[in-house]
Amino acid sequence: MRFIKPIIILIILGLIALFIWQNTATFNALQVFQLTLPFSQPMKWTFSLATLVGISGAVGLLVGIIIMFKPYRGLRKKLVEERQEKAAA
C-alpha cells in the first residue's frame, strides 16, 4: 500500500495536467463582463477563464473557512462559560 498510493496520486495528477494542457486555448479565452447600475457608468471587465476559475476557487475556499470557524468560535465561548461557572462554584 505504501508504494501504490504515490503511484495512484501521480496518475491522478497526470490526468489533471493532461486535461489542463489539452484545454489551454479554452482556459486562455477572454470573457467580458459588464455591470450596469442605474446610478453609475457601466463597468466592464475582461478576464481569462483560468483567472475566473482561480477567483471562484479562492472565494469558495474563503467562504468555507469562515463557515467552519463559526461553530469553533461558539464552542470556545461555551468552554469559557463552563470554566467561569466551575470557578464560581
Confidence of residue 64 (pLDDT cuts 50, 70, 90): very high
What share of the chain in percent tops pLDDT 90? Answer: 35
At 15 the pLDDT is: 97
SS3 (DSSP) at 11: helix
Place of cell 495536467: 17
Contact 53, 31 (CB under 8 A): no
Q: Please state, in angstroms and as integers, the Cα–Cα distance from residue 15 to each residue in 49, 51, 65, 66, 82, following that order.
A: 20, 21, 28, 31, 51
Confidence of residue 82 (pLDDT cuts 50, 70, 90): confident
**53-58 mean pLDDT:** 93
Q: Please state, in angstroms and as integers, the Cα–Cα distance from residue 1 to each residue in 4, 7, 8, 11, following that order.
A: 5, 10, 10, 15
